[in-house]
């Protein structure tokens, strides 16, 4: 059973600080990794994708992937109240079938 684990939170971070969100996955064959943001009552929207070990930066967001340790993280610098949302980690792989496994999400609260 392939699993993706996230701390459900809520994770409370002061405005302007760095928010760090973590995700672990069970299958070493996992190939692609995604972070989605979901505001309450809205649909998920893609924040970052990462496919190889290391860091990938996009504006205030940095995704970090460590395949050896089977974790992927998302850092949000200079956190803003508008970053308050649930962050979903999704892990993609293909063996006999395509599978995209989603974590349950971490609720992030940025306090002004």
Partner 1 sequence: DARVTQTPRHKVTEMGQEVTMRCQPILGHNTVFWYRQTMMQGLELLAYFRNRAPLDDSGMPKDRFSAEMPDATLATLKIQPSEPRDSAVYFCASGLAVMNTEAFFGQGTRLTVV
Asked whether position 51 contacts partner 1 by CB under 8 A, the answer is yes
Task: Give the closest residue to 46 by CA, choosing from 87, 81, 79, 9.
Answer: 87
- By the 8 A CB rule, do 102 and 17 touch? no
Among 10, 16, 39, 45, binds partner 1 (CB under 8 A): 45
Asked whether position 27 contacts partner 1 by CB under 8 A, the answer is no
Question: CB-wise, 98 or 112, nearer to partner 1?
Answer: 98
Tokens of 82: 């508008």
Residues of the shown chain interacting with partner 1 in the complex, contacts defined by CB under 8 A: 31-32, 34, 42-46, 49, 51, 88, 90, 92, 94, 97-100, 102-105
């Amino acid at each position: 059973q392939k699993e993706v684990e996230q701390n459900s939170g809520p994770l409370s971070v002061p405005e302007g600080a760095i928010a760090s969100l973590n995700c672990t996955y069970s299958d070493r064959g996992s190939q692609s990794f995604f972070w989605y943001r979901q505001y309450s009552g809205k649909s998920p929207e893609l924040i970052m994708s990462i496919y190889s070990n290391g860091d990938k930066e996009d504006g205030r967001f940095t995704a970090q992937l460590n395949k050896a340790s089977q974790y992927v993280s998302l850092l949000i610098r200079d956190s803003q109240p508008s970053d308050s949302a649930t962050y979903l980690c999704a892990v993609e792989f293909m063996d006999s079938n395509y599978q995209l496994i989603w974590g349950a999400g971490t609720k992030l609260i940025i306090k002004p």
